[in-house]
Amino acid sequence: MVDNVNGRKHPGTKGERVIERILRVIIGLASVLGPQGAKGHISHAFATLLKIAGLHWAQAVVCALIISAGIAAYFFKQNNQRWYGMVEALFGVGALIAVASGISLSSATGAQWATMFGSAYVIARGLNNLTDATEGGKEPSESWKQLRTSAKLLWTHA
């Protein structure tokens, strides 16, 4: 089957091709917005939620959304471990860039350092999921190329 995005033959089912296209859009938006741009949108959404629902309800909604995202990620990983690994590694890179871009020697907190070191773990888990998703633990060369390209885009737009 030929992929209409770039004209190359694309292995996998129709569902996998749809997921790939969705992830390309998400990665593209993340590279355009950058970690700080996304942070601004999230902060604005939370401020709006605070005005509408009040502090405790806003906190409850955020917790429910995060728990829902975790459950959705679990089911996504069950069916798409390769893509889950790529998204996980990119999330780790994005979190690292977002925190590192706001840190300075005079204002560095323990939480910022813990988040940056935690990002290394998230990146490692993502790469491990990428490797586990392939037969025999072979390196998924196309996935690695996409991961490197996306990480470079995130880094240059941060």
**Which sequence spans correspond to the domains of the chain?**
14-40+81-157
Using CA atoms, how far apart are residues 134 and 127, in angstroms rounded to an integer?
A: 12
Element (H, E) at 96: helix 81-100
Identify the bridge partners of residue 2 per DSSP, sorted by sequence position.
Answer: 9
pLDDT at residue 143 in the model: 59
pTM for the model: 0.57
At residue 90's C-alpha, the angle toward residues 67 and 37, to 5°, is 80
Contact 16, 139 (CB under 8 A): no
Using CA atoms, how far apart are residues 123 and 133, in angstroms rounded to an integer?
A: 15
In tens digits, the chain (158 residues) has pLDDT values of 444 445 555 555 666 666 666 666 666 666 555 555 556 667 778 888 889 988 899 889 889 988 988 888 888 888 888 888 888 888 888 888 888 888 887 778 888 888 889 999 999 998 888 888 875 555 555 655 666 677 666 666 65
pLDDT at residue 64 in the model: 92
pLDDT at residue 1 in the model: 42
Contact 115, 64 (CB under 8 A): no
Spell out the residues 6+ positions from residue 62 whose beta carbon is closer than 8 angstroms to its own.
46, 49
